[in-house]
Amino acid sequence: MQNDKLKGFLNICRKANYLIIGGEALSNYNKKLYLVLYDSSSKKNTLKIVEKFSSKGIKTMELDNLDTILLINNCKIVGIKNKNLSEEILKICGEEKE
């Protein structure tokens, strides 16, 4: 159930162009981001990008199977540039952990 909500919010972000997809696009992005989601199977280069945004004070969250949630093959990292949607995604992910 919660996974369906997460899929829904991420698809809204994608359709509204609030989603930055991929490590290269994120590393070159220099505007305001509110949340960075990365896959649990991410490798060293992706984790460097996550560390870069984390040191800037941007919230980061690890998810299992990010590529299947977004329906994008081999997607390991995305950034969300909408504050309200990122807060809702954090709420949903917080409920999953409890």
Helices (H), the chain: 2-15, 23-28, 44-55, 66-70, 83-97
Q: pLDDT tens-digit profile of 49-65? A: 999 999 999 999 999 98
Average pLDDT over residues 1-30: 90
For the cut 60, the answer to whether the pLDDT of residue 1 exceeds it is no
Domains belonging to the chain, first-starting first, are 2-88 (3.30.1330.30)
Mean pLDDT of the chain: 90
| pLDDT of 97 higher than 70 | no
pLDDT above 60 for 41: yes
pLDDT at residue 98 in the model: 35
Is the distance from CB of 59 to CB of 93 less than 8 angstroms? no
